[in-house]
Structure 1
Amino acid sequence: MRTGLARTCALLTVPLIALAGCAEPPEEAAPPATKASPAAASAPPTAPVLTASSPTVEEQRLDGKVPQELLRRSGFDAVAPDFVRELGESAGYESAERAVVRHGTALWRRAVDRVQGRGLPGGDLARDDDRPLYWARLAMSRELRAWKPDFTLPPDDRVRLLDRLERTSRNQEAQPPAVLDRDRVVMTGFDPFTLDDEIRTSNPSGAAALALDGTEITTPDGRRARIETVLFPVRWDDFSAGTVERALRTRLPKATLFATVSQGMPDEFDVERYNGARRGGAPDNLKVSRLGLAPVDDPTAQPQWTTTSLPYKTLTTVKTGRFPVRDNTHVVEAPAKDGGDPVPRKDGPVRDSRAWAGGGGDYLSNEIAYRATLLRDRLGLSVPGGHLHTPVLEFGPKNTAELTDPVFLKNRADIVKQVRELLRTALGAAPDTSGSSG
């Protein structure tokens, strides 16, 4: 999901500015992120911005041939009708909320079980596919948005129901079991995106989240950890409203390691060393653009940059799979004066510089990395964490219409396998906290 920064000579998305050449190494690395007050660190973020009117841009894509085929060939075409039947039996808001929570949670569990080989596949679509979850959730939200109950449902209550559906079907509300004898690894993934360019798009970070949720990894020295995953939408306004902080605020203090993951450059993984505070404004899945500083609590103490605490030297030297893993230290600083050009840096930002694009660009992958590491710093945690960009998940060169092909399936399987191995390798380099997470 790196829309804002290429490897050597940056091309920024919004505004479209080609930067000629590459800058000299910086004089000094940026300082650690500034901590906010304890009150700011613990303040609950607001709910995601949702509306209770006509179908959204995302929901309007549902009627296309590809989304319908993905639902049919996975058996997930039955999800929304089953949801509507129970929703229609609701006598009031409380029973409607119970139905939403039950079906949202069941959708996540069904998607995880299908990917991990439990239960019937429901169709001939490969089990490790992340796309049925995305489209089934949209089918449910569209039905909930249009639902006309027999009781009075104020718009604000409908928005709350939509919010519960989003959170439960992304595993954001789950309370993982206590694991006193092993570590915890928290991983996040994303929905498919750029769907107007390629409606068949899958997101390898989402596929990895489904494949790894609830599974265990063991390091060569015998350390065990449970992986806990959540998914996030590709929508600016959900991030503005604090969806990342709300989902991770209680998870990070219990984690031994965390990694936000998204799709990045072709044919390589990247460990993003620096994350920037600025949004570049590329359209999201709702075709919404947002440009400027990422809105956070206590903006007066908002740093321009945050840094990874993942063991990047280990991750980039140990063999973890088919794809090379790069230590990406490139960033782009804002112009030093009005009318000037953004300044690319090969070795991270200089002190007191303003962010234009992080190593992961200026889109939502950079922003989730920024928000998660800022939350780490504001909570005063020493847990290793940061962002991994996966290779782009590509179809075979001759496939312009089919949902899958052998190249696509192998690419996805290899990426997911390497994500798991990268987490295992990072865990092996992390401090041992097993027995203390509760």
Structure 2
Amino acid sequence: MRPALLLLACLTFAQAQTVEEARLQQVATRLPALNTAFAGLTRDFAHDWANSRDALEATRVAREYGRKLWLGAKARLHEQGDFDDRPLYWARLALTSIIRDNKPAFPLFEADRTTAIAALEQSSRGMDEIRYDPDRKIKRILLTGFDPFALERNLDQSNPSGVTALLLDGEEIVVNGERARVEVAVFPVRYADFDAGMVEDFLTPWMAGPRALATWQAAAGKLPAWVEPQVDMVVTVSMGREQFDLERYPGLRRSAKATDNLAALSGGSRTAPVIPLLHGLPLVGPEFVEFSLPVAAMQTANGPYKVQDNRWVRVMPDTRMAAGGLAALHGKTAVEGGGGGYLSNEISYRSVRLRNQLGLTQLPVGHIHTPSIQAFEPAKTADITKQVLEMLKAAIKTL
């Protein structure tokens, strides 16, 4: 075994880990190239983590290395042009595994460890790196992608939405003299993170503005008299079906049989869909919401795939229907939104619900489902990312 792999193996597999982290052992054996991409950063982090003097320094180190990983993954993707998001995913798990299983030089409480992991997660997902130009004439697009998933079936699975996010982060788009800057974040495929409010906690400052957020939190959820959206469009992206689907009607409930990356089930089914949580309480909202992306413009985007305005949903009792409007869905119980009953649908529902709750009737918010890929298909992923960019260019003209 090469020295970098031996070090990673020693650091990563000493103790019991999460289901995600435990897969690192298979990756080291079957897909070693995915480990070597950031082996040096992993080694340096293990050293600095072990030599942290207190909990504050440990968290600072975790956040710093998360940022290094994010920036390094972006640079690597642009330099190599391989359309591969997997090294970022597996390196992040190697770092969280070190935090979870290796003791620093001082007594570390479990709460401190949790804080350090959260800091690393946030910074390594681009959430700390969002920087817009203060000139509001430059439009602001906030885009999210997802980690690879279905790893229990395909350990080498990539996710075009994560690749798209990495490639577009910080990019400035110019269309007919109109300028827009794209900033991104990549979300985990884990039900628990969504239940804990990760989507709302991330999006609220950008949708409502920091002043409104502070007032809202202080008033225990009461909406202030002003809302200052800091972005001009919010686009969530995930891997989906055969073509591009713009998911018009996200649904409230979970019903997918598929497990998440921690092997957790949704808890629901087509015959008994369940309501997810928000900060430990049932998520409160209508059964269906409607997105507000500029559909007609985005459907003109050139590329090898059709861009569909998907109106199909599933309602109780397990009935599929094409909705002609929200009125047609009134009084019905959601089984699946346009994006299904998994986390792709859920990030779409939560973002549109938040938009509605904040009263941002003019803010375009919605979800793009990309064509799916089998494991790792860089050529197909390249086509997908280019067409997403064309959709954004088309949307800019309407903002």
TM tier relative to shorter chain: 0.7 to 0.9
> How many Å separate the matches in 2 of 1:365 and 1:158?
29
Q: What residue identity is the alignment partner of 1:278?
A: R
Give the number of equivalent residue pairs.
349
Counting only pairs closer than 5 Å after superposition, residues 15-414 of structure 1 correspond to structure 2 as: 54-64=16-26, 65-72=29-36, 75-117=37-79, 126-180=81-135, 181-219=137-175, 221-252=176-207, 253-266=229-242, 268-281=243-256, 282-291=258-267, 292-296=274-278, 301-316=284-299, 318-335=300-317, 342-347=318-323, 349-381=328-360, 382-394=362-374, 408-414=377-383
Deviation at 1:61, TM superposition (A): 0.6
Aligned identity (percent) is 40
SS of corresponding position for 1:306 = coil
> How many Å separate the matches in 1 of 2:16 and 2:283?
37
Tell which deviates more after alignment, 186-195 or 53-62: 53-62
Superposed CA deviations along residues 60-110 of structure 1, whole A, max 9, x for unmatched, are 1111134432222xx222221111111122110111111111100110011
Q: What residue identity is the alignment partner of 1:232?
A: F
TM-score normalised by the chain length of structure 1: 0.77
Q: What residue identity is the alignment partner of 2:370?
A: T
> How many Å separate the matches in 2 of 1:107 and 1:58?
18
> How many Å separate the matches in 1 of 2:169 and 2:194?
22
Deviation at 1:409, TM superposition (A): 2.1
> How many Å separate the matches in 1 of 2:261 and 2:31?
15
> How many Å separate the matches in 2 of 1:204 and 1:368?
16
> How many Å separate the matches in 2 of 1:150 and 1:296?
36
Q: What residue identity is the alignment partner of 1:265?
A: R
Q: Which has the higher contact order (CA 8 A, sep 6+)?
A: 1
> Residues 79 and 140 of structure 1 are in contact (CA less than 8 Å); yes or no, is this contact kept in structure 2?
no
> How many Å separate the matches in 2 of 1:377 and 1:115?
36
TM-score normalised by the chain length of structure 2: 0.84
The structure-2 alpha-carbon separation of the partners of 1:66 and 1:211, relative to structure 1 and needing over 3 Å to count, comes to: farther
SS of corresponding position for 2:166 = helix
Q: What residue identity is the alignment partner of 2:315?
A: E
The aligned counterpart of 1:9 is none
> Residues 183 and 226 of structure 1 are in contact (CA less than 8 Å); yes or no, is this contact kept in structure 2?
yes
Unaligned 5+ segments in structure 1 are 1-52, 336-341, 396-403, 431-438
Deviation at 1:174, TM superposition (A): 2.9
> How many Å separate the matches in 1 of 2:75 and 2:240?
27
Q: What residue identity is the alignment partner of 1:57?
A: V
Q: What residue identity is the alignment partner of 1:283?
A: T
> How many Å separate the matches in 2 of 1:177 and 1:392?
31
The aligned counterpart of 2:212 is none
The structure-2 alpha-carbon separation of the partners of 1:61 and 1:300, relative to structure 1 and needing over 3 Å to count, comes to: closer
> How many Å separate the matches in 2 of 1:350 and 1:128?
39
Runs of 4+ residues deviating >6 angstroms = none
Superposed CA deviations along residues 295-326 of structure 1, whole A, max 9, x for unmatched, are 2378585211111100112222x142111111
> Residues 173 and 247 of structure 1 are in contact (CA less than 8 Å); yes or no, is this contact kept in structure 2?
no
